Structures are given as C-alpha cells and as structure tokens.
Structure 1
Amino acid sequence: MTTFRGTPVEGATVLVTGANRGLGLAFVQQAKLMGAAKIYAGVRNPDEVPAELRATGAHIVELDVTDPGLVDTAAAACGDTTVVVNNAGLFTGNRLIEADDREAARAEMEVNYFGPLTMIRAFAPVLAARGGGSIVNVLSVAAIAPTAFMGGYSPAKAAALSLGGIARAELEPHGITVTSLIVGSVDTRMASHVQGHKENPLDIAATGLAAMQRGEWTCDTDFMAIDARARLARDPIRYERGLGKLLFAGELTTRS
C-alpha cells in the first residue's frame, strides 16, 4: 500500500482520455455521480461527441494522446486538474508476429503505452502545483500475462503496467498517487467479438475510482481479472498455454 490515500472524487477536477464512448464515457458518468466538481472529457474529434457525453455536462477537450502538442495544450488549458484517468486505448485485432498489418503493434504501443507516458509527463507538474493528485491507468488482464490472441495490445498494456509502477515511485514525493486497473471483459465496442458475460462499464469505473481514492497501487476490477490472477498464480505455464490456444479458437467466450 502507498503511504497516503488518493484524491477524493467529490470536489475533484477529473480529466478522462478516450471519453467519447465505452469505459471512457463510463468514467465521466461515474465521476459525476461521485460528486466531481468539474470533468474534462478528452476526445479526438470534438465535432463528433455523442449525446450521452454532452448530457454529462463535461467540458469537451480536443485530445489525442499520440499527439504531444495536443497533450501539452490540454495540460495548459486544464490547469485545475486533480485526477487524470488514462483510459484511451487501441486494440487492432492483429497478430504480433504473423501480422496482416506490420504497423499495428507500433500503433498499439503508441496509444496504450506512449500515450499514458506522454499524459503523465504533461500532467504531473499540473497535479504537483496543486499540492498533489491522482493518476489512474486503465489496463487489461492482458497486461499480467502474454495474451497471444491480443497481438501487440498485450505487450503494450504490460509496458503500461510497468510504467505505472515507475511513475508511482517518481511522483509519490510530489503527493501524486498512481493506480493501475487490471480490467477483464467489459461490455464495450472493444469486446464486441467476445461472447458470454461482460461487465457493465459503470461498475468498472466505480470500482476503479474507489481504488484510486484508497490509494491502491493495482486493482483487479472484476471477476475475470481476479480469476485470471488466481489461475496465473496457481499454474503460470498452464495459464499461458491456455491463452495461446485461444489464438486458434473459433470464438472467444468469457468464463461465468
């Protein structure tokens, strides 16, 4: 456990990347439910904001995490931010070695690893100037073990998990907490190809923000994440081989 707690959402100014749909939209909605004073919703195209996001009253910010210029502009414009939720993600569905698109893995690393890194570098001084704050990195079960059917996405999320630990060590003296969320299958567009039970995005957001408030370093947000962690601890080789077999499965189905 960290030596101090995270930032209370009530009264906070929260910035969420990739906020136009799915988990990002859920984090905006949940932050509002938990009493955030102001919410910045980072989106790549401000002209294509869905009605659900507009209805939250969030301040729309043009933000592409792969564009350092836009990230720096957002940090300057959102100088009252106290909580940053690095949610923006990319899953291309490509294999890693036998890839149809050899650039897919690079794109996944840019969004899923270098994106959070760029955001943390830009917003850490913002949080520190206000006496501290909290950063939440939205990751995946694919971060804790090589997940063959998720190609370049799994290595990128694993790198982001390491990033969270290193950022935590560097930023703790500035009063900044970093929480990494290990997320299973969620009912979003990214998991539309997965059959079976999928978590409600609002539940994931609620669990993740609560973990941040407690100052947790890493949080397994749902049954799939908890179950995967346990199976990996019991028999790492069997678990990884099982993931490898899913590369050739006709369809993906969650465990109930």
Structure 2
Amino acid sequence: MKLDQSVVLITGANRGIGLEFARQALARGARRVYAAARDPASVRLEGVMPLRLDVTDPAQVIAAAKDYGDVTLVVNNAGIAMPGGFLADTDLSATRRQLETNFIGMLQMAQAFAPVLAKNGGGALLNVLSIASWINRPVLGTYGASKSAAWALTNGLRHELREQGTQVTALHMGFVDTDLTRGMEVPKSTPQDIVRLAYEGLEAGAMEVLADDITRQVKQSLSTPAAAYLAAV
C-alpha cells in the first residue's frame, strides 16, 4: 500500500498520533486526507479536510462511508485510555467506555469501509493498537483488555479481507509523548517516529509494525516461559 496519491481517512486526527498521521500522509504525497474528529473545528492542520466523526456513533460511521467513498486507506487511530485495573472498575463504566471506542468503534469502521476499500481496489486498514494488547497490569488493566480485543479484531479482519485485496496492518507501541501520557514519568517515543515507522511498514506490506524496542522485546517474549504478561513488574 503506497501513500503517494492515496486517499486517507484518519480517526482521532485532531491531536497526538492522529494529527501526526495526517501530517505525514500529506508529506508522503496523499492526494486527499480526511481528518476525522468528534469536533471538526479542533482540526487545524492546513491541507486536510476536517470531518465530524464519532466512531461510537453507528449513524455517523455509516454516513462517513457513504459520503467519503474515495477512501483507499483507513487509519483506525481513535481511542481512549482510562487508568485502573479490573477489580477497581466496580460499575464497569471504564471498561464499557474503552471497549466501545477502542474495539466496537474500530469494528464499526471496518464494517462500514470494507466495501469502500474493495470498490477502490483493496486499499488498507491501519489499526493503532498497543503494547497493552499483550500486557494487562493494574495501572491500565481495562484499557489493556480493550486493546487485546482490538488485536484479535485486527487479526480476524486480516483473514476476512484478504480475498478482496485489503491489507490489514497492526501498529503496536509503548508509551508515546502525547497529551494522553502527560505527567507519566516513563520512557516515551515521539509521535513522529511512531508514525514514520507505521507508514514505512504499511508501504512495505507488513502485517504488524512493532514501533519501539520495548514492544519488540515483549512480543518476542510471548512464546517463552518468561512471557512478559506473567511478570509481576
């Protein structure tokens, strides 16, 4: 999947990684970039077309697929993260909110845009996941569950969309220096590096992009007796 002359739709494109996806899509020669956000007025990047899209609203997702039928790449970036483990979320509100956005929202986008991508020659889905797809610790337990579900969704979509020629690429990374991680004293990658590696992997036909060292280490550990998700720390 080449970015040059592509038509890209990016969810959650008003800030952070989503905004950087839009910037680099333009720099890589995308013919058109739709920058989707709940509030399109919050998209202030010159050269993109802002559009109103809440991925948790089925009507808005269906309307977007109908109105923007020239899309060849969907970057499923919209997501939320709420701190806390499973036992702390006694009313399940955090779990439900994160699953609704991070899993159901991504699924609805795939269902709505799969026919659009097929019509336009196959195209690609780039799903923004996380190292938390594989590790569920109390600090981000319920968030991790939503990203684990999104990883399973991505792996399933890859097989379901293969026949129509749609590339499905998963992006995994650790902490990134955005508003989402402000105040967290942990090593962080830059949005610029993460997006650059994501697009490089997409253009190379990669099924998964592991965008930093810690993510590569965790993924490698999964097939060993010392898998990272078993460790206490």
TM-score by length of 2: 0.94
Deviation at 1:197, TM superposition (A): 2.9
Query: Which residue does the alignment assign to 2:229?
Result: 240
Structure 1 CA distance for aligned equivalents of residues 90 and 154 of structure 2: 31
Task: Please state whether the residue corresponding to 1:72 is helix, strand or coil.
Answer: helix
Is the aligned partner of 1:31 residue 2:21?
Answer: no
Measure, in 2, the Cα distance between the counterparts of 1:205 and 1:69.
29
Q: Which of 9, 12, 17 matches 1:18?
A: 12
Instruction: Say if 2:182 is the partner of 1:228.
Output: no
Structure 1 partner of 2:96: 106
Match of 2:57 in 1: 67
* Alignment partners' CA distance in 1, 2:219 and 2:118: 33
Structure 1 position 154, deviation (Å): 0.5
2:26 and 2:164 map into 1 onto residues whose CA distance is: 26
For residue 185 of structure 1, report the CA deviation from its aligned partner.
1.2
In 2, the alpha carbon distance for the partners of 1:29 and 1:170 equals 30
Question: 2:41 is matched with which residue?
Answer: 47
What residue is the counterpart of 2:202 in the other structure?
Answer: 212
Deviation track 1:183-233 (CA, whole Å, cap 9, x = no partner) reads: 111101112232143111011111111111222111101122112223444
Return the letter of the residue paired with 2:129.
L
Q: Which one has more relative contact order, counting CA pairs under 8 Å at least 6 apart?
A: 1
Match in the other structure for 1:251: none
Q: How far apart are 1:147 and its partner, in Å? A: 3.1
The percent identity for this pair of structures is 37
Work out the number of aligned pairs and report it: 233
**CA offset at residue 152 of structure 1?**
1.1
* CA displacement at 1:92 relative to structure 2: 1.3
Give unmatched runs, 5+ long, in structure 1. 1-6, 246-256
User: Does residue 80 in structure 1 map to residue 74 in structure 2?
Assistant: no
| 1:203 aligned onto 2:203 | no
The one-character-per-residue Cα deviations of 1:72-94 (angstroms, maximum 9, x if unpaired) are: 11111111000000000110113
Report the TM-score, using the length of structure 1 for normalisation.
0.86
Q: Report the CA distance shift for 1:95/1:196 in structure 2 as closer, same or farther (over 3 A).
A: closer
Name the structure 2 match of 1:179.
169
Specify the SS of the correspondent of 2:139. helix
**Aligned-pair distance for 1:146?**
2.6
Answer 1 or 2: which has greater helix percent.
Answer: 1
User: Where does residue 112 of structure 2 map in the other structure?
Assistant: 122
8 Å CA contact 1:134, 1:178 repeated in 2: yes
Name stretches of at least 5 consecutive residues in structure 2 with no aligned partner.
none
